[in-house]
A and B are shown apart, each in its own frame.
Chain A
Amino acid sequence: MKKFKNSLEIRPFLALIVILLACEVLYRVMFGDSFFKITMVDGHFYGRLIDILRNGSKYVILAIGMTMVLATAGTDISVGSVMAIAASVACSIVDERILPSLHGNVFAAVLIALLVGALCGAWNGFLVAKLNVQPIVATMILLTAGRGIAQLVSDGKIVTINSDAYYFINGGYFLGLPIPFYIALFVLVIAIILTKRTALGMAIESIGINSESSRLSGILVSKNLWVIYIFCGIMAALTGIVESAGIKGADCNNCGLLYEMDGILAVALGGTALNGGRFSFVSSALGALIVQTISTVIYAFGVTPELTKVFKALIVVIICLAQSPIFMAKLKGIFSKKGSVAA
């Protein structure tokens, strides 16, 4: 029981439940209908919860990659640009604009896009692990250049595609549930196996807590950092593919715009400390679902979507303050003072 209480997953899980329940109550009062209503059409489930699951999966995938990087006390702010690159590579191949010898093979397109993502991650890894550049600065290079590279691939145009097989990545269903959900689940399982069954998980935590002492105690810090940034690059590429399959094309200027912020937000919501150390993929995934829930709720209630950003900001501030021991101590001080006055 104590172990359960102390686990990282419990807080974001409760937060998600509370947010959803609050929405349900509010929605019933305002519209007299259930927020959770799920209907069955053509053997697929439809409803807001399914929407959250489908659209939230992108954030889940991104957050899993981001969790690893943040747990090493690093950051990767280039993920949005990597998404744009991967999306434009995949869409250009499917549309036979580049590499026409593949005849628009979707499988090959996805594979190559993921490879490109790995390459981007390797570049970040090179700067961070080899040259010891600060992660924010190192990944800023790709953030600036990434969209330019994506435009280079797609020749500065918005690539629209016409391939049912590619659409299936985002719009398809399996056993009534959307495909992105399964992709996210698969990635989550892989990430957990990678960190729990190998030494990587321990190495990540150790690097995050103190990279210098990790190195002295024999952990191959730079090799591990390479692996972590490459993994994050692949995850970003996968997110880009799912996103482009959803909008049926790649728009290099807008694909993945500000996603780095959402990714970091998801991880922060999950409770992984942003200055490294303890981490949990499951709680990041829950955090990602919270991020999506905020957007879905705002649409469901008919509030202007621009307000989403304000809500996100407020939530970040609340979470940061709740994580800050100094703030909590001050808060306690205020309440105990009030209590003593009342007494």
Chain B
Amino acid sequence: MMKKLTIGNVSLLIAICLFIAMFVGGSIKYDRFGSVSTIFNLFNDNAYLIIVATGMTFVLLTGGIDISVASNLAFTCVLSAFLLDKRWSALVVIPLVLFIGTFAGFLMGYCIQVFKIQPFIITLAGLFFLRGMCAVVSTVSIPINNAFYKSLALSKISFQIGGSRAKLYYYVFIALAVVLIAWFVLKYTKFGRYVYAVGSNEVSAELMGIDVKKVKIAVYAISGFSASLGGFVFSLYTLAGYSLQNMGLELDAISSAVIGGTLLTGGVGTVIGSMFGVLIQGIIQTIVTYQNLNTWWTKVTIAALLCFFIVIQRIIAIRAEKKKA
């Protein structure tokens, strides 16, 4: 029996098909494209974005938005690079930056929920504040020379598949674990179901006895945590902290979620979809590089894709409304 087609799974289905089609198309067109290492490199290069997009999905599911994630990520990178440069132990720095990121998210969630301020505005303030604090810590790029970071950043698993070597860095597993845990939490725990309930209809969720306030503050804290965890992974990826890192990453994360089938009005979406959203953006980037085009083609293509998905979502939503009526 076929499962009913809804907004969520149609978008996810299209996203997965699109990813496969792009990969197959790329493999036919270019030499050396169709290999495991291409796929692995997608994960290697986008691990941090997968983590950020996962956290963002939680917020979007409740119908909110968090545009401070890019600044949060950059602040984590800069602060950890700065502290490591001051010869702090990595085992102190990592929990500290993760705590600060989570606390920033919690604080924004608190303002949004308790003082009823629009999420867009308060996270905008967070964006400005954290980006400004990056510059206060350091305006120049700080390299990370810590032994622990270096060993974690460079250790990888290598495979020998069909004559080509493919490698997967350890930090990719952090991203995969985050996605897996998030998927489990959303699907099989009480809290996860609350998130969907709040996003679908806040009033009825409240009437059902769900503590809406707690759920909403928690999702912003989760988003803050994943942003700073993304920052940790990104600092492994680049082994440096720079105050202007990843300007505009918040939109990459949001568009990944939208491409993966998350509705920005809340209530519909999966973290697996968001991961595919990230991978699709990554594969577009790869194709643009293979085609030797200017990098701005990536942006134009992603925007076109975004537009396509938004229109599809609208059409399905309008049809659903008509059916109800």
| Residue contact B297 to A268, C-beta cutoff 8 Å | no
A134–B125 alpha-carbon span in the complex (Å)? 21
B132 contacts the other chain (CB 8 A): yes
A residues in contact with B127, CB < 8 Å: 261, 313
| Residue among A141, A265, A313 making CB contact with B306, cutoff 8 Å | A141
> Given the complex of chains A and B, what is the CA–CA distance between A307 and B296 in angstroms?
30
Chain A residue contacts of B139, Cβ below 8 A: 304, 306
Decide if A326 is an interface residue (CB 8 Å cutoff): yes
Q: Is A44 an interface residue (CB 8 A)?
A: no
Closest approach, in angstroms, between the C-beta of B68 and any C-beta of chain A? 10
Minimal Cβ-Cβ distance residue in A for B247 = A257
Q: Is the CB of A309 within 8 A of B128?
A: yes
B116 interface residue per 8 A CB criterion: yes
Beta-carbon contact of A147 and B299 below 8 Å: yes
Mostly, the B contact residues are helix
Decide yes or no: A131 and B120 within 8 Å by CB, A144-B302, A149-B300, A313-B128 being known contacts.
no
B258 within 8 A of A: yes
Chain A CB within 8 A of B189 CB: no
User: Is there contact, CB below 8 Å, between A148 and B121?
Assistant: no
Answer whether A320 and B129 are a contact pair too, CB < 8 Å, given A142-B303, A143-B251, A144-B255: no
Smallest Cβ distance from A174 to chain B, in angstroms?
35
A147: chain B residues at CB < 8 Å are 296, 299
Q: B82-96 toward A: CB 8 Å interface, digit per residue (1/0)?
A: 000000000000000
Contact at B116–A137, with CB atoms within 8 Å?
A: no
Is B121 touching A141 in the complex (CB atoms < 8 A)?
no
Chain B residues near A131 (CB-CB < 8 A): 310-311, 314
- B115 and A265 contact, CB distance less than 8 A: no
A148 touches B303 (CB 8 A): yes
A207 CB within 8 Å of chain B: no
Closest to A155 in B: B294
A323 CA / B258 CA spacing, docked (Å): 32
> A327 touches which one: B115, B126, B132, B264 (CB < 8 A)?
B115
With known contacts A131-B314, A306-B243, A312-B128, A141–B307 Cβ distance under 8 A: yes
Distance of B212 from chain A, by nearest CB (Å): 15
Write the B106-118 contact mask toward A (1 if CB under 8 angstroms, else 0). 0000010011111
Of listed B134, B136, B243, B307, residue having the most chain A CB within 10 A: B307
Measured CA separation A152–B299 after assembly (Å): 12
Within 8 Å by CB of A326, from B114, B129, B265, B310, lies: B114
B116, A145: Cβ atoms under 8 Å?
A: no
Question: What CA separation (Å) do A245 and B115 show in the bound complex?
Answer: 42
Hey, which chain B residues are within 8 Å of A151, CB to CB? 294, 296
CA of A321 to CA of B114 in the docked complex: distance in angstroms?
11
Question: Which residue of A is nearest B308, CB measured?
Answer: A141
Give the shortest distance, in Å, between B310 (CB) and chain A (any CB). Answer: 6
Residues of A within 8 A of B (CB): 75, 127, 131-134, 136-138, 140-145, 147-149, 151-152, 156, 257, 261, 264-265, 268, 274-275, 304, 306-314, 316-317, 320-321, 323-324, 326-327
Query: Which 4 pairs between the two chains have the least Cβ-Cβ distance?
Result: A306-B135, A145-B303, A309-B132, A313-B129
